[in-house]
Amino acid sequence: MSIVNSLSPRAIQAPESGIVEVVNYARGRDGLLPLWVGEGDLPTPDFVNQAAMTALSAGETFYTYQRGIPELRQALSDYYARHFGINLPVEHFFVTGSGMQAIQIAVQAMTSPGDELVYLTPAWPNIAAALEIAGARSVGVQLDFEGGKWAVDLDRIAAAITPKTKALFINTPSNPTGWTATREDLASILGLARKHGLWIMADEIYARYYFPGDRAASFLDVMEAGDKVMFVNSFSKNWSMTGWRVGWIVAPPETGQVLENLIQYSTSGVAQFMQRGAVAALNEGDAFVQANIDKARRSRDILCDALIATNRVQTLKPDGALYAFLKIDGVTDSRKAAIDIVDKTGVGLAPGTAFGPGGELFLRACFLRDPAQIQTAADRLCDYILKL
């Protein structure tokens, strides 16, 4: 038996990320416009960095609270009061080492090996992979795509629920499609979960990136105390902190000891000086987040208007999240197309094959960048598309 084959089958079978594969192919090329991963072009703002550096210099380098420092849990509670109009005491909040780790902890908390979790596809690939590594099974339910718009079919979700189903994973606004659930969608999904005794894992990390209004509808708007909803979230996108790897969970306080234990036996908590940066992001970062949202809206318009005008791309402007998900006439293999596009135009896109059933023919472009750069990317892509 080879060394690799002696590892756990679950670990060996975890797929290489189809996004990272293309990034690795062309990373670091001159003049590259990297729209392939979900991050903006700005580094973390200085007021956040300073708070972390001050804490580091002051010797905040010891083990810390598993659930997060009290100041950060309070800042999260205040953030929800400001932006979601809801009063959630600090006992609801748990600080994690990224949104991705929030998902891992939620998966561990909700599922046992052999259990099923229903999620909507096309989807960010990490949810299914995290689940399979934990020994549970991901059951994809496709969103409908018509006239450039994505929509959920609730009967299809209901039909996917079996006695083994433990949870529904709902990412709204969605990466990569931009599909954004209405309040009514969320109420119906919650109704399904209540009827079948399921958990909802709510990934609303793009809730503030909602272009028709202030924020997207949230399960917080429709749920009641006692509902089994666990939110996974992240500092990555709002505050330009992708490299920090800090996120959080919002969960019923009754789950507190279980979540604390899962954190203890994974990271044992997020570095305290980084949590100080996160406190500054929440308490002083409203203007920065708003500037990011405004930039995303302008850049979305530039990219989508230009691509739609070619008459060779099926897409509408997404209502939410940070991505244009493009079906280009003539593209039959999005992995090959992503490689060809980066070779010929220097624009890095993520292939739709990475996002599971329903996404195969699409390419994803992240538009959280300076509008001038997005204009250049749009010009190069339109040129390429019109020559196809």
User: What does the binding site for ligand PLP look like in residue numbers (CB under 6 A)?
Assistant: 38, 98-100, 124, 171, 175, 203, 205, 234, 236, 242, 247
DSSP notation for 253-289: GGGHHHHHHHHHTTTSS--HHHHHHHHHHHHH-HHHH
Using CA atoms, how far residue 56 sits from 59, 124, 274, 283, 339, in Å, is 5, 34, 9, 19, 42
Residue nearest to ligand PLP (CB): 99
Task: Report, in Å, the least distance between residue 213 CB and ligand PLP.
Answer: 20
Q: Are 239 and 281 in contact (CB under 8 A)?
A: yes
* CA count, 13 A, side-chain hemisphere, 324: 32
Closest distance between ligand PLP and the C-beta of residue 205, in Å?
5
Please identify, using beta-carbon distances, which residue of 175 and 180 lies nearer to ligand PLP. Answer: 175
Helices 18-26, 334-345: crossing angle, 10 deg rounding: 20
Q: Cβ of residue 43: shortest distance to ligand PLP, in angstroms? A: 15
Q: What does DSSP assign to residue 139? A: E
φ/ψ of 205, rounded to 5, equals: -65, -20
CA angle in degrees (0–180, nearest 5) for 35-344-149: 45
128 or 157, CB closer to ligand PLP? 128
Cβ nearer to ligand PLP, comparing 97 with 371: 97
Nearer to ligand PLP, 212 or 243 (CB): 243
Of 299, 108, 320, the C-alpha closest to 210 is 320
CB nearer to ligand PLP: pick between 98 and 334: 98
Alpha carbon distance 310, 322 (integer Å):
21
Smaller CB distance to ligand PLP: residue 186 or 382?
186
Kindly state the smallest distance separating residue 19's Cβ from ligand PLP, in Å: 9
Q: Residue 6: which residues within 8 A CB-CB, separation 6 or more?
A: none
Q: C-beta of 242: minimal distance to ligand PLP in Å?
A: 5
**CA distance to 144, 184, 195, 275, 373, per residue, from 248 (Å):** 31, 26, 28, 11, 32
Q: What is the H or E stretch that residue 214 is in?
A: none
For residue 269, with 0-12 CB atoms within 10 Å meaning exposed, 13-18 middle and 19 or more buried, which class applies?
buried
Query: Nearest approach, Cβ of 152 to ligand PLP (angstroms)?
Result: 16
In the complex with ligand PLP, the residue whose CB is nearer, 18 or 382, is: 18
Cβ proximity to ligand PLP, 120 vs 307, nearer residue: 120
| Residue with smaller CB distance to ligand PLP, 201 or 382 | 201
Nearest distance, CB of residue 358 and ligand PLP, angstroms: 16
Q: H or E stretch including 364?
A: strand 362-366
Residue 285 tokens read as: 């970062």
Peptide bond into 253 cis (omega under 30): no
| Smallest distance from ligand PLP to CB 318, Å | 13
User: What's the length of the chain?
Assistant: 388
Least distance to ligand PLP, CB of residue 232, Å = 7
- Residue closer to ligand PLP by CB (options 242, 272) is 242
Give least dist CB 217 to ligand PLP, A: 16
Distance (Å, whole) CA 32 – CA 27: 8
